A = this chain, B = another copy of it.
Amino acid sequence: MSYNTFGHLFRVTTWGESHGPALGCVVDGCPPNIPLEEAAIQRWLDRRRPGQSRYTTQRREPDAVRILSGVFEGRTTGTPISLMIENTDQRSKDYGEIAEKFRPGHADITYWQKYGIRDPRGGGRSSARETAARVAAGGVARAVLAELLPQVQITGYMVQMGAHAIDRARFDWQEIERNPFWCPDAETAAAWAEELNALRKAGDSVGAVVEVVARGVPAGLGAPVYAKLDTEIAAALMSINAVKGVEIGEGMAAAALRGSENADEIFMGETGPEFSSNHAGGILGGISTGQDIVARFAVKPTSSILTPRRTITKSGEETEIVTKGRHDPCVGIRAVPVGEAMMACVILDQFLMHRAQLGEGGGGRIG
Contacts and interface: CB of A to CB of B under 8 A. Distances in A.
A23 B4 CA distance: 19
A32 B301 contact: no
B258 A205 contact: yes
Contacts of A314: 364, 366
Interface stretch (A54-62, A77-85, A179-187): A77-85
Q: How many copies of this chain sit in the oligomeric assembly?
A: 4
Contact of A162 (B109, B258, B284, B310): B258
15 contacts: A1-B356, A5-B13, A16-B80, A23-B69, A77-B117, A80-B125, A105-B263, A111-B224, A112-B364, A114-B363, A234-B237, A244-B252, A259-B304, A312-B367, A352-B357
A1 B9 contact: yes
Interface residues on A, range: 35 or more
A97 interface: no
Given A79-B17, A300-B250, A301-B254, A72 B235 contact: no
Given A20-B69, A23-B69, A117-B77, A287 B110 contact: yes
A109 B13 contact: no
A332 B255 contact: yes
A353 B1 contact: yes
B245 A244 contact: no
A289 B69 contact: no
